[in-house]
Structure 1
Amino acid sequence: MDANEIVEWLRHSPCSAADPFGSGRRGILRFPNSDDYDRFLHMTQAMHTSNAESSLASVRPLNLIQAVSCPIIDREPPAWLRGRAVWEEDAPVQVGALPKGALVTDKGIPWGVKHIQAPRAWSKTTGYRVKVGVIDTGVDFGHPDLRHSLERGINLLHRLSLPQDDNGHGTHISGTIAAANELQGMIGVAPRSMIYPVKAFDYNGTAFVSDIVLGIEWCVRNQMNVINMSFGMKTRSKSLQSAVSNAYRSGVLIVASSGNDGKIGEIDYPARYSQTIAVGATNRQSRVAAFTNRSGLIDIYAPGDRIVSAWLRGKHREMSGTSMATSHVTGAIALLLALKPGLSPGQIKTIVKSSAKPLRKGKTPRIAGELNVLRMIKAAEHL
């Protein structure tokens, strides 16, 4: 490989080196052969370290999938690279929720937590010390409901900063999973599990696929037990699929939301990948919520309509979406893993699906039922 060719090629990026993570479109360059990836990485990192070429500042390694993320290049790659690497757009991803509801003063146990019968399981399990990676917008570290449930996590947008939430979505998700302040605030599904916030999304709730891949990589490396991914995209990404598959093979299960477009027969990625648990939303009447995407690929439904949870600056807000449903399922899995820590992702998925409570009749293609913690724990005891 010719190092000068690499530098010359990367120079032809529409995104300047001074603004490597600006508004320009990005691509992911994946190397099927690990030797090719190692050589490419070694060469670019060595040149960047020596300050030989500042345009390499925008190249980000994605070790989990043997790839790099960099601005989309305006010219053909060098001849030696063709056939050795695969290009894919580093597509934008959006956190998923419907327009925000009102700030509320409700306290205690939210209806969704009660509905899945989590409180009736707390005499057996509270999710004690189960590690939950929440790839999202961060979390409000000052929130009294989450004070005892948070570890530092990581901010992928600003590596030296705490993953502080500047959007609200990640705080809402984390509250449903693990809030632990019943007397003054609220309590989540698994109040003694530990949230590791992974801030991959900015204040607008937007990230690149590469940010998600880096988030999954961090969760695998730091031995999370389960990952919550309350977001989706319409297009298939082989890079994201590879990251999800690698996490699954490493023993880390990903719970993902199906999307809020009200579509029948179609759900978002990454929920559409078979190595995730795909979650749809129900309402208080145990009916599939009108906004939820649904298909035979849904693994489980859970409360997602008008869910009260933690919000920025120590407040609480009502929100709806399959994002909210996903956090109920993640919390339930934390309860399960505290009881049965050795379960594989495949075993967890089987338990969640087989123990589901049948849903009320409706106009929806359906195999999956609704999440029920007591039935889930009972099913696990028979393994």
Structure 2
Amino acid sequence: MKKWWMLTICIVFIVAAVVPVRAAAASHPLFANVIVVFQQQVDEQAVKTLHGNVTKRFEVIPAVAATLPVTAVELLRRWPGVDYVQQDTTVAIDGQITDWGVEKVKAPVMHTHGVTGKGVKIAILDTGVDLKHPDLRVVGGACVLSYCPNSYQDDNGHGTHVAGIIAAKDNDIGTVGVAPNASIYAVKVLDRYGEGNVSDILSGIEWAMKHRVDIINLSLAAPEDAPALKAAIRKAYESGILVVAAAGNNGYANGTGDTVEYPAKYDSAIAVSAVNKENVRLPYSATGPAIEVAAPGEGVYSTVPVALDGDGRRDGYTHMSGTSMAAPFVTGVLALYKQQYPERTNIELRQMLRDRALDLGTPGRDPWYGYGLVRAVSNQPPELKVKLLSVKKGEVAFSVTLSGSAVKGYRVYRNGKQIETLQTAGTYTDYVVKGTYQYEFASIRNDGAESALTAPITVNVPDPYYKDVSASAWYMPEIAYLSSRGIVSGYNNGTIQPYNTITRAEVAVMLGRALHLDATKRATVFRDVASSDFASGYIQSAYERGLINGYPDGTFRPQQPITRAETAIILSRAYPLPGGSSMMFKDVTARVTGHEAIAKLAAARIAEGYPDGTFRPYQFVKRLEFFVFTARADNERFR
């Protein structure tokens, strides 16, 4: 009985390239279903000339699906411009898992920190998904089969079970998925019998690429290579999509041989094997060098359509086993990674999957478990501890403690984006304007690998607030820093006008505040700066310190914009800076007043030139530029 079940899984519940059971009964077929891949341009006329009929057209690769006389297949293979012709073989679903797996991969640890896959788009290429199941939320989808009476509604049960493992809602009923808030798209590529053709899978991948999904789940398998499918998966991967595939259920009990099936065997796909609760490989889970990670695959509890629930309870949930169930655990974990690290590429997230895996079996990557059991968080002991110390005007401070000789530093993430890489523990301070921010930290090991992120720390910064400075502005931290030190305060109307030019008087005020000069209004040496002028105290103090000069006619011209060269001169006088090469910019020569000061600012990474190699010393300075220059001069952290 067990052998009969295994045979059913291999033929009916696996993927791509097996001949359909019913089709195999025909002794001498007259027509063949093929996929024709062209070298460059698609030539449908070639098919028509050989009395064939094009049934599907693909955009992701230069190919068509067609039906033509068997006797014409060889002729078509030799046709000019044709790269190869392959049989449009049958693909089918792969197997069956339980709720213990969600705990096993440590997904709940991420859930408690608000990481639930939110915003991550996942295409499930399968038998469809039950659109009415109370524990599932399907965002959209498509049926790419030639006959779709109920669109992408699941009429088999397999696709719904896979969907539940990935994203069953956290709603106190049934079960919960690895990434319960992920956006799932049901792409029906298999019929009610769990069968489909390679051309259907190609259409499903093409649909997923057009809809810019982040991850494709393929709980399918087939014993034969399908070059067109390999090309499509490679295209998807190169476009930034992660492709997760079940390794197959045709492994030997003793674990020998290379039994990984397609498409899991392709380099662009992540091949997933299956383990039980004791982290032991299931006896039928495929083995081979392509295995990348292992995941729970035995007796997994998940969703099914009520009408197809055959376990006697008819509640819309059941247990299944196999690599088909293991693959969606990996898909779900990758969705958690993607939410947590939105800026990272699919290649980086794939490496993270390997780095965080719990090594099983033979040390290192092996043909049974790959890099090991997939984990949402690392199994390594904590390497850093972070504590929020204070939240003040424009300033958030943390205590960071590193441990272990294998740790060389840490990274800081604000709202999911990396903002700092540091090597020294202690107090870390970030500068931000008014808003709500989420901070996470990760240690960096000596080999460059990054640990799992710490639990998110959410802070609400009450001020400063400027109408015209957003939290995403590249110069925002510098403005927040200067505000926290009382160096800038903005205008009465709540703006800071970053793109306006800055005047000589405003520069004197900012510099005076930064250097704690005497601000008392008083008479100045300049005939155009009265004692009642708002900046008179700072202008006179800066003059007395030798930071600023006037013009030969005895004026200071306080309302005149300041140039980049003048800015360099003033800042080089105000802050001790090392010397630099005056030939760094093609428009700065020894004849340019302030060339030495410009060289100092450039060498200290306070000021930069333009892409064309110029500094433009006589160009007026915008307020935001002076803010950035001053912050960099005052605090090396900004350089």
What TM-score do you get using the length of structure 2 for normalisation?
0.50
Considering only aligned residues, what root-mean-square deviation do their CA atoms show, in Å?
2.8
Code of the aligned partner of 1:82: W
CA 1:80–1:207: 2 relative to 1, 3 Å: closer
- Distance in 2 between the 1:303 and 1:244 partners? 24
1:75 aligns with 2:64: no
What displacement does 1:343 show? 2.3
What displacement does 1:354 show? 1.8
- Number of the residue aligned with 1:187: 176
1:172 aligns with 2:161: yes
CA 1:359–1:84: 2 relative to 1, 3 Å: same
- Structure 1 residue corresponding to 2:207, chosen from 189, 196, 218: 218
- Structure 1 residue corresponding to 2:232, chosen from 240, 243, 246: 243
2:358–2:373 Cα contact (<8 Å) kept: yes
2:32–2:69 Cα contact (<8 Å) kept: no
CA 1:154–1:367: 2 relative to 1, 3 Å: closer
Code of the aligned partner of 2:303: A
What displacement does 1:124 show? 3.8
1:156 aligns with 2:168: no
What displacement does 1:358 show? 1.5
2:221–2:261 Cα contact (<8 Å) kept: yes
1:145 aligns with 2:135: yes
Matches within 5 A, 1:257-268: 257-263=246-252, 264=256, 265-268=258-261
What displacement does 1:152 show? 2.0
- Number of the residue aligned with 2:81: 84
- Distance in 1 between the 2:126 and 2:238 partners? 22
- Structure 2 residue corresponding to 1:372, chosen from 367, 375, 400: 375
- Distance in 1 between the 2:368 and 2:186 partners? 34
CA 1:182–1:153: 2 relative to 1, 3 Å: same
- Number of the residue aligned with 2:282: 289
- Number of the residue aligned with 1:106: none
1:93–1:231 Cα contact (<8 Å) kept: yes
SS of corresponding position for 2:66? strand
What displacement does 1:342 show? 2.7
1:137–1:199 Cα contact (<8 Å) kept: yes
2:209–2:236 Cα contact (<8 Å) kept: yes
- Distance in 2 between the 1:80 and 1:289 partners? 41
- Number of the residue aligned with 1:345: 346
SS of corresponding position for 2:202? helix
- Number of the residue aligned with 1:329: 330
2:247–2:323 Cα contact (<8 Å) kept: yes
SS of corresponding position for 1:375? coil
SS of corresponding position for 2:72? coil
1:205-247 per-residue CA deviation (whole Å, 9 max, x = no partner) reads 0010000011000001100000000001111111000000100
Q: Any gaps of 5 or more consecutive residues in structure 1?
A: 1-22, 48-53, 102-108
CA 1:59–1:302: 2 relative to 1, 3 Å: same
- The range that moved more, 64-73 or 304-313, is 64-73
1:119-155 per-residue CA deviation (whole Å, 9 max, x = no partner) reads 0111141000210000000001110000xx2112001
What displacement does 1:80 show? 11
- Distance in 2 between the 1:355 and 1:364 partners? 18
What displacement does 1:185 show? 1.6
- Number of the residue aligned with 1:31: 38
1:63 aligns with 2:52: no
Percent identity between the two aligned chains: 31
CA 1:347–1:72: 2 relative to 1, 3 Å: farther
1:155–1:162 Cα contact (<8 Å) kept: yes
CA 1:222–1:96: 2 relative to 1, 3 Å: same
Code of the aligned partner of 1:138: G
- Number of the residue aligned with 1:272: 265
- Distance in 2 between the 1:301 and 1:291 partners? 13
- Distance in 1 between the 2:249 and 2:149 partners? 34
- Distance in 1 between the 2:210 and 2:86 partners? 25
- Distance in 2 between the 1:352 and 1:328 partners? 12
- Distance in 1 between the 2:107 and 2:76 partners? 58
CA 1:368–1:80: 2 relative to 1, 3 Å: closer
2:124–2:217 Cα contact (<8 Å) kept: yes
- Moved runs in structure 1, 4+ residues, more than 6 A? 77-81, 361-364
- Distance in 1 between the 2:330 and 2:171 partners? 20
Code of the aligned partner of 1:251: G
How many equivalent pairs are there? 337
- Distance in 1 between the 2:34 and 2:298 partners? 36
What displacement does 1:380 show? 6.4
Code of the aligned partner of 2:216: I
What displacement does 1:295 show? 1.6
- Distance in 2 between the 1:222 and 1:79 partners? 33
Code of the aligned partner of 1:291: Y
- Structure 2 residue corresponding to 1:96, chosen from 94, 98, 110: 94
2:46–2:79 Cα contact (<8 Å) kept: no
1:90-124 per-residue CA deviation (whole Å, 9 max, x = no partner) reads 111111016xx9xxxxxxx9110011110011114
1:152–1:162 Cα contact (<8 Å) kept: no
Q: Any gaps of 5 or more consecutive residues in structure 2?
A: 1-29, 307-314, 380-439, 443-449, 454-639
- Distance in 2 between the 1:80 and 1:55 partners? 13
SS of corresponding position for 1:65? coil
- Number of the residue aligned with 1:231: 220
Say which one has the larger Rg.
2
- Distance in 1 between the 2:245 and 2:370 partners? 17
1:286–1:360 Cα contact (<8 Å) kept: no
1:154–1:197 Cα contact (<8 Å) kept: yes
CA 1:124–1:237: 2 relative to 1, 3 Å: same
Code of the aligned partner of 1:245: R
1:231–1:259 Cα contact (<8 Å) kept: yes
- Distance in 2 between the 1:24 and 1:321 partners? 35
SS of corresponding position for 2:64? strand
